[in-house]
Structure 1
Amino acid sequence: MIDRRMTLASLAALAATPALGQPRATPRGFVARDGAALTIDGRPYRFVGANVWYAAWLGMAGQAGDRARLSRELDVLAGDGVTNLRLAACAELSPLRNSVRPAFRDRDAFNEALLVGLDHVLAEMARRDMKAVLYLTNFWEWSGGMMTYLSWVNGGRYINMNDPAHPWPAFADFNAGFYVSDDAVALYHDYVRAVVGRTNTVTGRRYADDPAIMAWQLANEPRAAGDLEKVRANQPAFQAWIAGTARLIKSLAPRQLVSTGSEGLKGSGESRDIVLDTHRSPDIDYVTAHIWPGNWGWLKLNDMGGTDAEARRLARDYIDQHVAMAEALGKPLVIEEFGYPRDRNRYEPDAPSTYREGFYRDVHAAVLDSVRKGGPLVGSNFWAWSGEGRPRHADHRFRAGDDAWLGDPPHEPQGWYGVFDTDEALRAEVRAHAAALAAVRA
């Protein structure tokens, strides 16, 4: 699976890259930041987006992937007005439970087959005028992530998420060691250089020259630690990692945006100052926020009817707080993850999604209101598109070797938050929002 010549090939490709100061034609179509707005070729860029973390796996050749399904999924999403996809461009081969296989890399080399899968996805997205946001590692265990990098350099020590022997916040606090481990960060930065500096084998275009890539993201949901005391203590190392990695990416891909992938307040010890610091670097182009009322206890999963109104009120307030922080920073804001369970917390594709539909309307209304007022909130990506994917097992659990690929990652029940192609009411809401955004005059 792992091609150990890949590292040498990546270094050779980097050596062939023109120097940063060398004149180069500037292609059109890149998403740019203009103050608190995003633009393309001088026009406002606002979007309806989705998370499709598994797209590169579908893009692989042969039995491991399903390129025909990938094309169908992209066609359906484009038809619904979705123009922005947030994707995993990472997965570390991991000893952690529930971590996805195959992975993009092991400790010493990279998986060229999966990287070609990503090449294929980006080529297909470009054909449909879609933009990609690519995250480069993960705070959580389901794709290996920072805990795996640490295990590679600390003699194999790690903690599984939700291990009863190490209750929360042990996992998050252990993971914070990543930011102060020079060896772990060096391995991660090697991967950043190789992927951001890659040349697409399908199109022949360098990733850094591809306007289909809107932004590189440091990680999925990075946070400094678990509890607030440790978050505050770890801020210097966390902020140094953010600034240093963002600067590295900008040196490799100066035409593309960089974002943190932060949840916002919930990933920052509920501290406004920490959210501001996390997004203050001049090399971080926009603010991100994620909203999970069910995971955070706002929505009681055994009493959705009785708690839905309050959960949605808290979510609207959460958005308002992040709009205010984006305004203070003078940067755009994207709600790049938001999810809500199906009625009665069921997972089946035919289960009703009445409460979820209302939640989607709230998020979409906030984006539309901001866009109409010229505010910083410019787009959203729902979590997550499952499309044709269906749970393989009656218990809705992912098992090693599964290749159904749903929006719910391997550590979660398959069908929990995913939007299926048969979710007509949800898809109608997405289409209506896309039409409303398109109707707003610049």
Structure 2
Amino acid sequence: MHCKRKVFSLIVMMAFAFCAIEAKDVGFISRQGHQFIRNNKPYYFIGVNYWYGGMLAIGKDSTKGKERVKKELDFLKSQGVNNLRVLAGSEGYGLVNGVERLRPSLQPEQGRFQPDILRGLDYLLSEMAKRDMVAVLYLSNNWEWSGGFLQYLNWNKKISDSTMQSKMSWDGLRDNTSMFYSCEPCKQAYLKQVDFIMNRVNKYTGRPYIHDPAIMAWQLANEPRPMRTSAVEDYKRWTSSVASYIKSKDKNHLVTIGTEGIMGTDESAELFREIHTPPQVDYLTVHIWPKNWQWFKGTDINAQVKEVIKRSDEYISRHVGIARALRKPMVIEEFGLPRDQHLFSPAGATTARDQYFKAVFSVLRRSHETGDVISGCNIWSFGGMARPREGQLFWKEGDDFMGDPPQEEQGLNSIFDSDATTWSLIKSFADTLLQKNS
């Protein structure tokens, strides 16, 4: 019996070794001063947000999901995209802030995890490695659509079930979410999820996540904000302590916070600088949301796109100065725009969006040409092969995932594989970066 176990263990190890050989070891991405380094060269990239990528291979039809992963990764690779920002951790179930959150959940109840949920992320990372691609993994969410901080507050009796499930006002959402940073049991529960994810061993490759070069960076959360000025000091302590905690567990990967920038740090450039100063925080991030920030009005986006570009340039420039002073890279990791006339159908034109993307890509290209701090951008968001359901605005369980989270109109900001003019633009800029990276 003992010999049989030895033989079985040897077979398993050989199988894992075979998988590891099949995957390409791209080498860990590191930081030297204000630049990312990959294979001893500066690393610049055009990537996408693919937040649902780790959930595709665990649906009711996992075979279909895996095929979608492979086809979409092949498509992205063909367009010069090799950097994906992906959700790693989701919490709870049911209504939150009046909307249906995504399912299935990694942590449906506090402290109870579903290991099989991470099989989808295992599969995604294993397939990415084969294609020389890397992922930025965010570990929770400031916003409600994946449970996030509100769910930890609800589990620890800081907000009631009825408050959690009902639609909150903006001020109510800020009041409630800001309590996370002073809620010790909430923060401890969050760290348990961090541990659960970081301690994972990939079932397809046998490689621990902390030793996987297909992961570029860990991100504390999606857009963590203090939400209220009263929470700023607790927020600063939390971002610094969590970054240090992750670094203590993992010496191979970069760490970043996941902020929107000044807009998400109580509109304070000083606070944005402070939270990115600790040495455990490797790079800065900026998100730009012209629609949410009311940089245009109505549906005639084309008539206002020049103003949107102007304000975006100004916003980016404010952060570049901070990144230069800190001598750290900066990534424009979320930016998006609806289709012309604010249509949701893939048949809608993308004239304004394409013009806007070209402007952002041009900023990145100039930074690349001069060796400056802006090192990459991740478009929000890749919709891939999915398509909105006719006559249905919002996501329902069983629908295909696309770039728009459950609380947003499906098709709002998604870039589908059929958006030919947008992909032609992406590829032209990505190819330029790839040629110079090589």
In the superposition, the TM-score normalised over structure 2's length comes to 0.90
**Contact 1:61 1:67 (C-alpha < 8 Å) held by counterparts:** no
| Aligned-partner Cα distance in 1 for 2:284–2:158 | 36
| Aligned-partner Cα distance in 1 for 2:166–2:363 | 34
**Contact 2:220 2:243 (C-alpha < 8 Å) held by counterparts:** yes
Deviation at 1:441, TM superposition (A): 6.7
| Aligned-partner Cα distance in 1 for 2:74–2:172 | 42
Deviation at 1:352, TM superposition (A): 0.1
Deviation at 1:200, TM superposition (A): 0.7
| Aligned-partner Cα distance in 1 for 2:207–2:370 | 38
**Contact 1:294 1:301 (C-alpha < 8 Å) held by counterparts:** no
| Aligned-partner Cα distance in 2 for 1:362–1:104 | 37
What are the superposed Cα offsets for residues 62-118 of structure 1, whole Å, 9 maximum, x if unpaired? Answer: 526711011100000011000100000011013412211111112131122211111
Q: Determine whether 1:432 maps to 2:434.
A: no
Higher mean alpha-carbon deviation, 118-127 vs 267-276, is at: 267-276
Report the counterpart of residue 189 of structure 2 in structure 1: 187
Deviation at 1:439, TM superposition (A): 3.4
Aligned counterpart in structure 2 of residue 306 of structure 1, from 303, 311, 314: 303
Higher mean alpha-carbon deviation, 374-383 vs 304-313, is at: 304-313
Pair 293,148 (structure 1): closer, same or farther in 2 beyond 3 Å: same
| Aligned-partner Cα distance in 2 for 1:254–1:32 | 10
| Aligned-partner Cα distance in 2 for 1:161–1:439 | 50
How many matched pairs? 408
Report the counterpart of residue 116 of structure 1 in structure 2: 119
Report the counterpart of residue 46 of structure 1 in structure 2: 44
Report the counterpart of residue 413 of structure 2 in structure 1: 417
Pair 277,133 (structure 1): closer, same or farther in 2 beyond 3 Å: same
SS in structure 2 at match of 1:402: coil
**Contact 2:44 2:437 (C-alpha < 8 Å) held by counterparts:** no
What are the superposed Cα offsets for residues 191-235 of structure 1, whole Å, 9 maximum, x if unpaired? Answer: 10111121111100010000000000000000001xxxx32x322
In the superposition, the TM-score normalised over structure 1's length comes to 0.89
What are the superposed Cα offsets for residues 99-155 of structure 1, whole Å, 9 maximum, x if unpaired? Answer: 111111121311222111110110001000101000000000000000001100116
Pair 437,28 (structure 1): closer, same or farther in 2 beyond 3 Å: closer
| Aligned-partner Cα distance in 2 for 1:160–1:350 | 37
| Aligned-partner Cα distance in 2 for 1:28–1:356 | 32
Higher mean alpha-carbon deviation, 339-348 vs 51-60, is at: 51-60
Q: Determine whether 1:153 maps to 2:150.
A: no
**Contact 2:47 2:377 (C-alpha < 8 Å) held by counterparts:** yes
SS in structure 2 at match of 1:285: coil
What are the superposed Cα offsets for residues 160-208 of structure 1, whole Å, 9 maximum, x if unpaired? Answer: 5993xx4212202210111111101111101101111211111000100
Report the counterpart of residue 6 of structure 1 in structure 2: none
| Partner amino acid, structure 2, of 1:247 | S
Report the counterpart of residue 249 of structure 1 in structure 2: 246
SS in structure 2 at match of 1:438: helix
Deviation at 1:265, TM superposition (A): 1.2
| Partner amino acid, structure 1, of 2:223 | E
**Contact 2:364 2:374 (C-alpha < 8 Å) held by counterparts:** yes
Aligned counterpart in structure 1 of residue 337 of structure 2, from 333, 336, 340: 340
Report the counterpart of residue 71 of structure 1 in structure 2: 70
Report the counterpart of residue 257 of structure 2 in structure 1: 260
Aligned counterpart in structure 2 of residue 34 of structure 1, from 32, 52, 75: 32
Report the counterpart of residue 211 of structure 1 in structure 2: 213
Report the counterpart of residue 127 of structure 1 in structure 2: 130
Deviation at 1:310, TM superposition (A): 0.8
| Aligned-partner Cα distance in 1 for 2:165–2:404 | 16
Gaps of 5+ in 2: 1-24
Higher mean alpha-carbon deviation, 183-192 vs 299-308, is at: 299-308
Deviation at 1:395, TM superposition (A): 2.9
1:292-371 equivalence runs, <5 A: 292-371=289-368
The runs of at least 4 aligned residues of structure 1 exceeding 3 Å deviation read 158-162, 439-442
| Partner amino acid, structure 1, of 2:53 | A
What are the superposed Cα offsets for residues 15-48 of structure 1, whole Å, 9 maximum, x if unpaired? Answer: xxxxxxxxxxxx8600001000000132111111
More helix by share: 2
| Aligned-partner Cα distance in 2 for 1:441–1:238 | 37
Report the counterpart of residue 9 of structure 1 in structure 2: none
| Aligned-partner Cα distance in 2 for 1:385–1:124 | 17
Gaps of 5+ in 1: 1-26
**Contact 1:332 1:377 (C-alpha < 8 Å) held by counterparts:** yes
Deviation at 1:156, TM superposition (A): 5.5
Pair 441,244 (structure 1): closer, same or farther in 2 beyond 3 Å: closer
**Contact 2:26 2:214 (C-alpha < 8 Å) held by counterparts:** no
Report the counterpart of residue 8 of structure 1 in structure 2: none
| Aligned-partner Cα distance in 2 for 1:271–1:364 | 26
**Contact 1:162 1:168 (C-alpha < 8 Å) held by counterparts:** no
| Aligned-partner Cα distance in 1 for 2:86–2:213 | 15
What are the superposed Cα offsets for residues 309-337 of structure 1, whole Å, 9 maximum, x if unpaired? Answer: 11111011111111111111110000000
**Contact 1:122 1:212 (C-alpha < 8 Å) held by counterparts:** yes
Pair 161,208 (structure 1): closer, same or farther in 2 beyond 3 Å: same
Report the counterpart of residue 81 of structure 1 in structure 2: 80
| Aligned-partner Cα distance in 1 for 2:116–2:372 | 42
| Partner amino acid, structure 2, of 1:438 | L
SS in structure 1 at match of 2:100: coil
Deviation at 1:339, TM superposition (A): 0.4
| Aligned-partner Cα distance in 2 for 1:57–1:195 | 14
| Aligned-partner Cα distance in 2 for 1:331–1:397 | 39
| Aligned-partner Cα distance in 1 for 2:419–2:339 | 11
SS in structure 2 at match of 1:386: strand
What are the superposed Cα offsets for residues 323-371 of structure 1, whole Å, 9 maximum, x if unpaired? Answer: 1111111100000001001000000011000000011001100001011
Pair 155,167 (structure 1): closer, same or farther in 2 beyond 3 Å: closer
| Aligned-pair identity (%) | 37
**Contact 1:160 1:171 (C-alpha < 8 Å) held by counterparts:** no
| Aligned-partner Cα distance in 1 for 2:164–2:351 | 34
| Aligned-partner Cα distance in 2 for 1:294–1:155 | 31
